[in-house]
Amino acid sequence: MYTSSHESFVIIGVTEDGKRFRPSDWAERLCGTMSIFGAERRMAYSPYVQPGSWEGEKCVFVDVRIHDIERLAYHFLENFARDNQLKRAPWTPSRP
């Protein structure tokens, strides 16, 4: 079992004062910063940072396991949400 003070979370594309975050493709752009290029020379999102939808709003799902791989990436994502005053919610990823 994972024992850490860190947690998986969702960055929701709505600011604390209720405004929709722009640009409209912000989630894909943010996930693109954490992506890799595979053997087929195609971009693939990290399995730990995925764009999606949360209660009808664009979002980014952040799996806490990225902290073990690259803690600076995890903190970058936390700071992105804080600096842009975006709502966050706890999230429990399904583990394979």
Task: Say what the pLDDT of residue 32 is.
Answer: 93
Q: How far apart are the first and last CA of the chain?
A: 13
- pLDDT, averaged across the chain: 91
CATH of region 9-90, choose from 3.30.70.2340, 3.50.50.60, 1.10.10.60, 3.40.50.150 = 3.30.70.2340
Do residues 6 and 74 touch, judged by C-beta distance below 8 A? Answer: yes
Task: Say what the pLDDT of residue 42 is.
Answer: 83
Q: Where are the domains of the chain?
A: 9-90
Element (H, E) at 51: strand 49-54
Q: Which residues contact 8 (CB under 8 A, 6 or more apart)?
A: 61, 62, 63, 64, 90, 91, 92, 93
- Given pLDDT bands bounded at 50, 70 and 90, which one contains residue 3? very low
pTM above 0.85, yes or no: yes
